[in-house]
Amino acid sequence: MADRDASARSLIRARLAQSREELRAILDPPPGDKGGGGMPGESSGGFPRSRIMRMMLSGRGLGTLGALASGLLLALPALALRLLKLVPAGAVAKILMAKAMDALKSKSAAE
């Protein structure tokens, strides 16, 4: 009985190790990739530092977050307003201003 438990545990551990490696391969950027996206604050000291936050603040990520926020606001307005108070407004404002300035610069350069 103990032998079957040990073999089942080793099989489960092997599957977990394999799935962890697959997740690392998916989530870790390829070597030489600096995070991409041209996000402001990509350096190690700026906001956002994590790859997940950089992905969420990219173009597609912002659309997804906007849809999620509007759905939350419609469904549970009190909770949405409480969660909004937790957002670091200064850092988000800097990012939005940088994106707006970049958009204006690229628009004026195209003209």
Q: How far apart are CA 24 and CA 6, in angstroms?
A: 27
| CA angle (85, 73, 51) in 5-degree steps | 60
Which of 4-18, 32-46, 71-85 is predicted most confidently? Answer: 4-18
Give residue 89's pLDDT. 85
Q: What is the DSSP letter of 43?
A: S
pLDDT for residue 11 is more than 50: yes
Can you give the residue ranges of every domain in the chain?
34-110
What Rg value do the Cα atoms of the chain yield, rounded?
21
Confirm if 54 and 37 have CB atoms less than 8 A apart.
yes
pLDDT classification of 30: cutoffs 50, 70, 90? low
Percent of the chain with pLDDT over 90: 17
3-state secondary structure of 105: helix
Give residue 41's pLDDT. 45
* pTM score of the predicted model: 0.35
Confirm if 48 and 57 have CB atoms less than 8 A apart.
yes
Q: For 15-24, 40-49, 57-66, 75-84, which range has the lowest pLDDT when averaged over its residues?
A: 40-49
